[in-house]
A and B are shown apart, each in its own frame.
Chain A
Amino acid sequence: MSKFSDAARARSYRLERGLTGTTGVLALLAGAAAVVVGMGLLGEFRAQRPVADPIALDFLRQYPEVTKGVAIALGVLLFVLGLRWAFRSLRVELRPDLVLDRTAGNGLRVVSGAVAEAVRSDAEGIDGVAKARVRLVGDEQHPALRIRLSLTDGAEVRAVWQELDKVLGNAKSCLGVAELPTAVHLELATVERQRVQ
Chain B
Amino acid sequence: MNKMKVAIAVFKEHVSLRFDCAEEVLFVEFENGEIVSRKMASMEGLNPLQKLRSISTSGATRLVCGAMPGFYRRMTDFLGIRIMHAEGMAIDILIEHLKRGKSNLIVPCSQRGRGKHRRDGCPWMVTGG
A and B: interacting chains: no
